Structure 1
Amino acid sequence: MRIVTHSGTFHADDVFAYSVLRDALEAFDFVRTRDMAMIESADIVFDVGGTYDPAQGRYDHHMRDLPRREDGTPYSSVGLIWRDFGRKALPRLVPSISEDVLESVWQDIDATFILAIDQADNGVATASQSHFALLIEAFNPTWNSGQGYDDAFLEAADFARGILVRACWQAHAEAEALSLVMAAARRAQDARVIVLDRKLPWEKAVFEGGLSDLLFVIYPNEDLSAWYCRTIPPEPNSFGQRLSLPEAWRGLQETEFSKVAGIEDGVFCHPSGFICGARSRESAVRLAEKAIAGG
């Protein structure tokens, strides 16, 4: 199999597209060229050639009638390659990934990481100086470096893969966390309180999983020396609470907090009433129950 993209200056979309294909496919010959004879004879062509035809392995996006996402955002070459090859690449990017979360991880990466490259490459969104697309472009040789573009491209692709791997691992962790939170919600005796066996991100599950009745989540710190009772915000990224902790608890610590809250091992209650803690799971659950009952 031969895969072709253009020679010369490269951007984030063609570098990441090549990186995805390296993990999605078996060994292949890779050529960077603008020679039309080589382009036409290739099995897969991306970011060059003037043709968009996935059935024929053609993934250019520089035409007037360029391919677009459902929301109208133009695809870049990596958006097209991720769409058709990303699912095949994921088991190598995240070796521990399971089939039940693969689609969720693919969608997460597509809707955030890949979309950002599509937007920057097509001028839909301005890339700031810290945008990773510009970091990839920084690998292009300077006029006096003596390095060839092809060598620089491969160096950039190795760097890009590291970024993509980390993004996929983060998306995978979020997908697994969502699964664990939803399982805890199914086990809960009271839909208003869920208990997690470890500290993990739970916000996405609350709003994407439809946990509309949930008021408190209970979870431990890393060494299990304390358990937290955390209120649920009314919407994502909100500082509000669906149900605040009792006013009488707020700002108290240790013995004073324990006495007022009616438990033996209280640790604290935050002055804003969004979180409190105890030294045992049972007491943290009791705090949630007391808060629901009005303190």
Structure 2
Amino acid sequence: MRIVTHSGTFHADDVFAYSVLRDALGAFEFIRTRDMAMIDSADIVFDVGGIYEPAKGRYDHHMRDLPRREDGTPYSSVGLVWRDYGRMALPRFVPGIGEDMLDSVWQDIDATFILTIDQADNGVATVSQSHLALLVEAFNPPWDSGQSYDDAFVEAADFARGILVRACRQAYAEAKALSLVMAAARQARDPRVIVLDRKLPWEKAVFEGGLSDLLFVIYPNEDLTAWYCRTIPPEPSSFGQRLSLPEAWRGLQEAEFSKAAGINDGVFCHPSGFICGARSQGSAVRLAEKAIAGG
């Protein structure tokens, strides 16, 4: 199989597109050129050639009638390649990923990571000096360098793959966390309180999973020496609380907090009333129940 993209200066979209194809398809002949004869003879062409025709492996986007996402955002070459080959690459990026998580992780990466490259490449979003697209473009050799553009491209692709792998694994972890939170919600005796057996990101599941009745989440610290009772914010990333912890508990620690809360192993209650803790799961659950009952 021969895969072709353009020679010379490269950008984030063609670098990431190559990284995706390399893991999706395995070994292939890769050529960077603008020679139309070589482009026409290739099996897959991206970011060059003037043709967008996926059925024939043509993924350019530099034309008047360029391919767009459903929301109207123009695709770049990586957006097109990720759309058609991202699911094939994911098992290499995230070893052990199951079919049940594949589409969720693909969608998460597409809607966040890949979309930002599409936007930057097409000039439909502001790009800061620290934007990923510019970091990748920095691999282009300066005018006084002896390095070839082809060698620099491969170096940039290795860098890009490392970032994409981390992003995919983070998305996979978040997808697993959402599944665990939703399972805990289904098993909860009271829809206002859920108990998790480990510390994990739960906020996304609360809002994407529609847990509108949830008021408190119970979870342990990393070494299981304490259990937290955490209030739920009214919207994502908010510092507010659907139901605050009782005023009489706030700012207290150890014996004083235990006495005020009516448990025997209390640890603390934050002065702002969004989190408190105990040394056992049972006590942490009781703290949530007492807070719901009014303290």
The verdict on a shared fold, with TM-score over 0.5 as the criterion, is: yes
Inter-partner Cα distance in structure 1 for 2:74 and 2:237: 28
Partner of residue 181, structure 2:
181
Letter in 2 for 1:27: A
Residue 26 of structure 1 and its aligned partner are, at CA, apart by 2.8
Partner of residue 290, structure 2:
290
Superposed, which structure 2 residues align to 1:131-142 within 5 Å? 131-142=131-142
Partner of residue 212, structure 2:
212
Residue 267 of structure 1 and its aligned partner are, at CA, apart by 0.6
Letter in 2 for 1:291: A
Inter-partner Cα distance in structure 2 for 1:99 and 1:275: 37
List per-residue Cα deviations over 1:160-189 (Å, max 9, x = no partner).
000000000100000000011011111111
Letter in 2 for 1:238: S
Partner of residue 116, structure 1:
116
Inter-partner Cα distance in structure 2 for 1:252 and 1:34: 70
Gaps of 5+ in 1: none
Superposed, which structure 2 residues align to 1:29-178 within 5 Å? 29-178=29-178
Say which SS state the counterpart of residue 22 (structure 2) adopts.
Answer: helix
Letter in 2 for 1:204: K
1:262 aligns with 2:252: no
Partner of residue 276, structure 2:
276
Say which SS state the counterpart of residue 31 (structure 2) adopts.
Answer: strand
TM-score, normalising length: structure 2: 0.99
Inter-partner Cα distance in structure 2 for 1:62 and 1:156: 22
Inter-partner Cα distance in structure 1 for 2:102 and 2:292: 38
Say which SS state the counterpart of residue 240 (structure 1) adopts.
Answer: coil
Say which SS state the counterpart of residue 45 (structure 1) adopts.
Answer: strand
Gaps of 5+ in 2: none
Residue 241 of structure 1 and its aligned partner are, at CA, apart by 0.7
Letter in 1 for 2:231: T
TM-score, normalising length: structure 1: 0.99
Inter-partner Cα distance in structure 2 for 1:6 and 1:26: 20
Inter-partner Cα distance in structure 1 for 2:215 and 2:251: 20
Say which SS state the counterpart of residue 97 (structure 1) adopts.
Answer: coil
Inter-partner Cα distance in structure 2 for 1:104 and 1:233: 25
1:225 aligns with 2:225: yes
Say which SS state the counterpart of residue 8 (structure 1) adopts.
Answer: coil
Letter in 2 for 1:218: I
List per-residue Cα deviations over 1:211-243 (Å, max 9, x = no partner).
111100000000011100000011111111111
Inter-partner Cα distance in structure 1 for 2:157 and 2:256: 58
Letter in 1 for 2:24: A
Partner of residue 23, structure 1:
23
Inter-partner Cα distance in structure 1 for 2:199 and 2:183: 15
Inter-partner Cα distance in structure 2 for 1:131 and 1:176: 28
List per-residue Cα deviations over 1:240-283 (Å, max 9, x = no partner).
11111111111111100000000000011111110000011000
Inter-partner Cα distance in structure 1 for 2:226 and 2:178: 23
Divergent runs of 4+, >2 A: none
1:241 aligns with 2:249: no
Inter-partner Cα distance in structure 2 for 1:96 and 1:180: 17
Say which SS state the counterpart of residue 90 (structure 1) adopts.
Answer: helix
Letter in 1 for 2:289: E
Say which SS state the counterpart of residue 237 (structure 2) adopts.
Answer: coil
Say which SS state the counterpart of residue 217 (structure 1) adopts.
Answer: strand
Identical-residue share of aligned pairs (%): 88
Residue 98 of structure 1 and its aligned partner are, at CA, apart by 1.0
Inter-partner Cα distance in structure 2 for 1:237 and 1:93: 29
Q: Alignment length, in residue pairs?
A: 295
Inter-partner Cα distance in structure 1 for 2:31 and 2:66: 24
Instruction: Say what the alpha-carbon RMSD is for the aligned residues.
Output: 0.6
